[in-house]
Amino acid sequence: MLLAVAVSAVAAPILAPHDPVQQDLLRRLLPPGTARDGAAYLLGTDSLGRDVLSRIIYGARVSLTVAIVAVGIAGLTGVSAGVLSAYYGGVVDAGLMRLADVILSVPFLLLAIATVAVLGPNFLDLIFVLGLTRWPRYARVTYAQARALREREFVQAEVAVGAGDGRILFRHILPNVLSPVIVIATLEVGLVIIFEAALSFLGLGVQPPVPSWGAMLSEGRDYLANAWWLATFPGLAIMLTVLAANLLGDAARDALDPRGLSGAAF
Amino acid sequence: MARFLLVRVAHAVLVVWGVATLVFVVLHLSGDPTLLMVPQGSPLSAITRLRHELGFDQPLSTQYARFVSNLVRGDLGDSLWQERPAMSIIEERLPATAELAGAALAVALVAGLGVGVPAALWRGGWLDRAAMTLALLGQAMPAFWLGLLLIMLFAVRLHWLPPSGAGGWPHLVLPALTLGSLPTATFARMTRAAVLEETGQDYVRTARAKGASRRRVIAAHLARNAAIPIITVVALEIANLLGGAVITESIFAWPGLGRLVLDAIAARDYTVVQAAVFVGAVVFVSTSLVADVLYSVADPRIRLG
């Protein structure tokens, strides 16, 4: 399923039967399955005559891009923070881990909303916000793992032999902390997709006319009584994509982290 | 026990201070907060005057010192939009959100635990499989989509329940179900895992071998031990409830803190936004503290070690 979403995101211009942005006010609010003048609207059209199916396909681009980049940023920052804190201890440790605690203490959506409100709802900032506010989750896990590793014999041996910090960090500690991180990262992709949709739903995320699943749901809200398809299909798209990501995460956990070291929520 | 509590409280205070600082930093991220708060195209003189009134022309360190000292006295600043203290606005809206979150939590606990425990005890049975499938779907489904679907079905098609607003308990049903959907799924999965983990333990086998009935084993032993991870998850979910409330309140026009945040953003009233985020964090930190106390009750090793 995830593959299907990825493919459609990449191949969107070829796959989508219609231009997702082009409005056609004569064809507003057509129910799914209508065909007119040789053009078929499999999932109907929205209030501005735009084909829902095409917008969903293009929306996949937005959701996946945001999710993957944000998770990448969060992961990189988090893992670095966690490993460095664990390895060097002292002030670095205290500072970074306390910061992580503080960020984790604010309900995520509130923090995200407030930050986006201040920075303005543009695409790049959105990705940064989603990335930079989620790094503590990765940091916590890598910290615990790295702390344990630091004390183990093979690391002590390297130190005794006089290996430089960089070598120890990269060749020994890092590879061993990555398994739980991968598990968390896959689960986070699903979460970030939902958060991006939520922010777009509230008008604080991706701006029109760029199609975003969350924004489409928001539009559908106004037509619940007469155009049920506007609210149903984007949500379905979100759910299926996140489900795929979660299943991938579960599979990753079974393969890489059966002892539950990642602490990934059930 | 007292020492443990003291340490936890001190830690919580430190975290709250950290959150305040974070909130302060976020507000100043754009450079000049005054620009955020004025309508577009305001004359420069008005902007300068406002900046001076709000104290944004002072050096950052001075601003920060004032911010913290006000905070300690419970002053979260004045709302520009409503021209009264932000704190009083928040106090007005907090009960509504508390009601919604409480209802959602209740639904989630009853449904989640009610399904998770039997699922674990009759592992592999039809209840287990059905419940876990539903839980998987529940975790993947955006809550706001569920809300819209519920409105479409119960309010628009069937006319059984009102689609929005606050009032008597009928108004509470749909929002509570919407907000509670994700926690229910999480609790169900977590409870099942926790109970399964305990059933595998030696002490359970020993108790059964000694002749204790299934019921006694569950009540006296499993419950206490499985409670610990469950308490963790419940405490964490409170944070999600506070965040999710923003969306749920938006969909159902529920007059709570979440909608206040959105309205404040639309009105460019960042004092209120800042205050609301801070209050949200404080609530979360407090619940975590309570959770820690509950741990120590459930697990003596924590309070003594």
At A261 the pLDDT is 53
* Residue B13 CB coordination number (10 Å): 12
Q: Provide the pLDDT for residue A11.
A: 44
Q: Which two tokens stand for residue B14?
A: 């430190």
Interface of A with B in 111-130 (CB under 8 A): 111, 113-115, 117-120
Q: What pLDDT is attached to residue A38?
A: 45
- pLDDT, residue B9, reads 86
Residue numbers in A near B233 (CB within 8 A):
265
Question: Mean per-residue pLDDT for B7-18?
Answer: 85
Mean pLDDT of chain B: 80
Which residues lie below 8 Å from residue A25, measured CB to CB, with a gap of 6+?
A: A48, A49
Span B23-34, average pLDDT: 76
Query: Cβ of B215: how many Cβ atoms within 10 Å?
Result: 8
Rounded distance, CA B261 to CA B254, Å?
Answer: 12
Identify residue A249 by its one-letter amino acid code: G
Measured in whole angstroms, the distance separating CA A70 from the mean position of its chain's CA atoms is 6
Q: How confident is the model at residue B280 (pLDDT cuts 50, 70, 90)?
A: confident
State the number of CA atoms in the 13 A half-sphere of B52 facing the CB. Answer: 5
Top-confidence residue, B299 or B238: B238
Q: What per-residue confidence (pLDDT) applies to A37?
A: 47
Question: How far out from the chain centre does Cα B236 lie?
Answer: 8
**Mean pLDDT within B158-163:** 75
- What residues in B contact A115, CB-CB < 8 Å? 26, 29
Q: Is A33 left (phi over 0), alpha (psi -120 to 50) or beta?
A: left
Dihedral of the CA atoms B82, B87, B93, B94 (nearest 10)?
170
Q: How many helices (H) and strands (E) does chain A have?
A: 12, 2
| Whole-angstrom distance, CA of residue A90 vs CA of residue A52 | 55
B136–chain A nearest CA distance, Å: 7
**A246, B36: Cβ pair inside 8 Å?**
no
Is the pLDDT score of B295 beyond 50? yes
Q: Which of residues 215-274 of B touch A (CB under 8 A)?
A: 233, 236, 239-240, 242-244, 246-247, 250-251, 261-262, 265, 270, 273-274
Domain ranges of chain A: 40-263
The Cβ of residue A25 has, within 10 Å, a number of other Cβ atoms equal to: 8
Region B99-113: mean pLDDT is: 89
ω into residue A32 within 30 of 0, thus cis?
no
User: For A122, phi and psi rounded to 5 degrees?
Assistant: -105, 160
Which residue positions in chain A have pLDDT lower than 70? 1-43, 153, 163-169, 257-266
Question: What global pTM score does this model have?
Answer: 0.82
Interface predicted TM-score of the whole assembly (ipTM), two decimals: 0.81
Nearest CA in chain B to A98: B15
pLDDT band at B277 (very low <50, low <70, confident <90, very high): confident
H helices of A23-51, in order, are none
Lowest-confidence pick of B76-80, B151-155, B181-185: B76-80
Q: What is the mean pLDDT of residues B112-127?
A: 82
3 state SS of A202 = coil
Contact B156 A224 (CB under 8 A): yes
Under CATH, which architecture does the A40-263 domain have? Orthogonal Bundle (1.10)
Which of A239, A217, A241 is closest to A229 using CA atoms?
A: A217
List, for residues A228-240, the tens digit of each pLDDT value. 778 888 888 888 8
Rounded Cα distance between B178 and B95, Å, is 19
Q: Smallest Cα–Cα separation from B247: which of A209, A195, A71? A: A195
- Planar angle of CA B142, B147, B153, nearest 5 degrees: 130
Q: How far apart, in whole angstroms, are the C-alpha atoms of residue A246 and residue A93?
A: 31
Helices and strands (DSSP H and E) totals, chain B: 14, 0
Amino acid B236: pLDDT: 82
The per-residue pLDDT for A266 is 39
Please give the Cα distance from A19 to A13 (Å, whole number).
Answer: 8
- Closest-CA distance, A115 to chain B, in angstroms, reads 6
Element (H, E) at A36: strand A34-36
What is the rounded average pLDDT of the residues B257-270?
83
Cβ–Cβ below 8 Å for A110 and B246: yes
Q: Which of B148, B274, B281 sits opposite A217 (nearest CB)?
A: B148
Name the residue among A114, A190, A202 with its Cβ closest to that of B277.
A114
Report whether A184 contacts A260 (CB < 8 A).
no
pLDDT at position A15 is: 47
Q: What is the DSSP letter of A244?
A: H
List CB contacts of B199: < 8 A, sequence separation 6 or more. B120, B121, B222
Residue B83 reports pLDDT greater than 60: yes
- pLDDT band of residue B191 (cuts 50, 70, 90) is confident
A163 Cβ contact list (under 8 Å, min separation 6): none
Instruction: Tell whether the model's pLDDT for residue B275 goes beyond 50.
Output: yes
- From chain A, the residues in CB contact with B274 under 8 A are 114
Count of CB atoms within 10 A of residue B93's CB? 22
Q: In degrees rounded to 5, what are phi and psi of residue A223?
A: -120, 30
Would you tell me which residues 131-160 of chain B have a C-beta closer than 8 angstroms to some C-beta of chain A? 136-137, 139-142, 144-145, 148-149, 151-152, 156
Test A221 with B288 for CB contact under 8 angstroms: no
- Gyration radius of chain B's alpha carbons: 24
pLDDT at res. A179: 77
Is A194's CB within 8 Å of B274's CB?
Answer: no
Q: Which residue has the higher pLDDT, B49 or A5?
A: B49
The whole-number pLDDT of residue A4 equals: 55
Tokens of A36: 């007119």
Nearest-CA distance B173 → chain A (Å): 19
